[in-house]
Structure 1
Amino acid sequence: MRRTTARRAAAAVLGTVVGMAGLAAQAAPAAADEEIPEFSFEGCPELPANADPNLWLCTVAKITSGRLTLGGIDQEIHQPITIVYANGYDPVTFEETVIVESLESEPIRVEGGILGIPGSDFLPIMQIHAQPQLAGELELSPEPDVLMRQRMKISVRNPLLGDSCTIGTDEDPITLDLGLGPTNPPPPNEPITGSPPTDVSTDPWVVKTTFVDNAFAVPKSANCGPFGWFNGIVDWQSGLPSPAGSNTAIFTTYSASKGYAQLGNA
């Protein structure tokens, strides 16, 4: 029964994602002046062979605002982060499968650049741009109070750092346990609370949710500059590694979902 309910809803993150189900029944009515992002389902993942479309849901989730604090980096989210994924169930075992198609966002210019001093990054060589990337599987409701477990890394770009510099890696990712809170972080962080799902549209079905986590750790950087020569500089500037209790993710997310049977008839 719980899995059937979970299939009904998927509010998704970020980033860069993010989704969860089973909460739509508790959703409050939308505000009259709610500004809802536009959604396209053209990029939904292809289903596995012999999958029953009636048991699969495609979700397009857009993180439109919030904040991501990773060690010494404290960045407001002001450009959308979009994740597209599908989740479905085996009709016999009811085992859930999640397929992530993409995570897309524009590079975010990090305030203060290399030196971390506002206004010092007027030259391109002093600028740093960060971009979230997926670094592993996506899990929906892996445990109580966790609506989505998202593994990610942050691409850090600068002319000196090259194109492969990241905070976190596929082997050692930043793992976010996103939920509604209140969270239970170690100090110095204190508990924070998100906001429950709110239905804001019925065609397509769109849910607005604020997901939070401030109990996760952030690993060191990797592959910054030739042979990783600049890893230490990135770690110093970013305050890495950063232990649990010193980092925060707040994602205000609009998630639009459609069943694959509905998509096939669209």
Structure 2
Amino acid sequence: MRTIRFRAALAVVAAGVLTLGAASTATAAPLPNAPFGGWGKCPIANPETSTCVDVVVKGGEMNINGLKVPIPSGSLNIAGGVAYRENPDAEFGFDQIFIPPTDGTKGVYSSPIEVPGGIFGLGIPFPGGLTTIKATVEPVALPTVDAFQLGVTLPARLKISNPLLGGNCYLGSASNPIMFKLGVSENGVLEEVPGFPDTAAVRNVTHADQTFAVPGASGCGLFGALNWAVNLRANVPSSSGHNSLTTTSDVFNIGADSLRTQ
């Protein structure tokens, strides 16, 4: 039996894959009655965009070598377009290329997540937020979103924020990123969208990855003087096999031509 994620993707094929290489002459104003909304990030002005994708994280947990950080609903969103380029050696006969929005975000939208226990791991508040630590996922390259299997790959770094650490404290970097490879570990629920046959909405998809490594801290405090403290608190560097990320997301796909005014 085909998985629900594969069947969901088939709903998008007619709108995108079957017209490989075909450029649309439609204008780039999203239709007002398009399902779900939020499609303003999709680069439909790019004629190569065949499918619009939107991954909305509803919750989860990151575990870095024993440091567990809950992921709140709405703290991470990946949105953009997918182009299909013919490749006889690829699984489906074509490569899927992520096309980011034109807003400079690389298609990744994240908000700071508070680390439980704060700077000392004790959860004792201090005036001015001096003991509060927050982590923000920042992409260092374009993600990939598999419109068929619903997997997500995200090269990223974690910005660590605290008044004592300055504004350039990170785990991971562009040259040594944290490579999240989120595969679907539990299928979601396919939702039908009347009037939009080229749309797939899959609710409560569970993504998981236990393969990523987390580098040591850099840029924390004056001239990196507090790198050691961040490493101690975050249990890093931490090699592959000692970390995990699990998320629950809603994943939306829609044929780009459904959003283009003809």
TM-score, normalising length: structure 2: 0.73
Q: Is the 8 A contact 1:24 1:197 kept in 2?
A: no
Are the structure 2 counterparts of residues 265 and 148 from structure 1 closer, same or farther at C-alpha, using a change threshold of 3 Å? same
Cα deviations across residues 218-241 of structure 1 (Å, max 9, x unaligned)? 111121122211111100111000
Does residue 179 of structure 1 match 2:183?
Answer: yes
- Code of the aligned partner of 2:51: L
Instruction: Give the drift of 1:262.
Output: 0.8
Match of 2:79 in 1: 84
* Structure 1 residues 113 and 40: alpha-carbon distance in aligned structure 2, compared to 1, 3 A threshold: same
Instruction: State how far apart, in whole Å, the 2-side matches of 1:201 and 1:85 are.
Output: 21
Match of 1:32 in 2: none
Root-mean-square deviation (CA), in Å?
2.9
Matched, 1:24 2:12: no
Question: Equivalent residue for 2:59?
Answer: 65
Residue identity matched to 1:159: P
Q: Counterpart of 1:13?
A: none
Partner of 1:107: 112
SS at match of 1:216: coil
Correspondence list, 1:25-44, <5 A: 39-44=37-42
Q: 139, 142, 165: which is aligned to 1:137?
A: 142
Q: CA deviation at 1:140?
A: 4.3
Equivalent position to 2:218, from 215, 222, 245: 222
Kept after mapping to 2: 8 A contact 1:84/1:100: yes
Are residues 1:234 and 2:234 paired? Answer: no
Q: Give the match for residue 163 of structure 1.
A: 167
Q: Give 2:152's aligned amino acid.
A: M
Alpha-carbon distance in structure 1 between the residues aligned to 2:131 and 2:114: 11
Gap regions ≥5 residues in structure 2: 12-35, 89-93, 102-106
Distance 2:127 2:240 in 1: 33
Q: Which amino acid aligns with 2:220?
A: C
Letter in 1 for 2:261: N
Say which SS state the counterpart of residue 179 (structure 1) adopts. strand
Q: Following the alignment from structure 2 to structure 1, what is the Cα–Cα distance between the partners of residues 168 and 161?
A: 8
Question: What count of residue pairs does the alignment treat as equivalent?
Answer: 218
Matched letter for residue 189 of structure 2: T
* Aligned residue number for residue 119 of structure 1: 124
For 2:60 and 2:251, how far apart are their aligned partners in 1?
15
Tell me: CA distance 1:226–1:47, structure 2 relative to 1, closer, same or farther (3 Å): farther
Task: Please state how far the C-alpha of 1:22 moved relative to its aligned partner.
Answer: 2.9
Q: Which runs of 5+ in 1 are unaligned?
A: 1-8, 10-20, 28-37, 181-193
What CA distance in whole angstroms lies between the structure 1 residues aligned with 2:44 and 2:169?
Answer: 31
Q: What is the CA-CA distance between 1:172 and the residue it aligns to?
A: 0.7
- Taking structure 1 as the reference length, what is the TM-score of the superposition? 0.72
Q: Secondary structure at the match of 1:217?
A: coil
Say if 1:201 and 1:170 are closer, same or farther in 2 by CA, change over 3 A.
farther
The 10-residue stretch of structure 1 (89-98 or 127-136) with the greater mean CA deviation from structure 2 = 89-98
Other structure's SS at 1:234 match:
helix
Q: Is 1:147 the counterpart of 2:114 in the alignment?
A: no
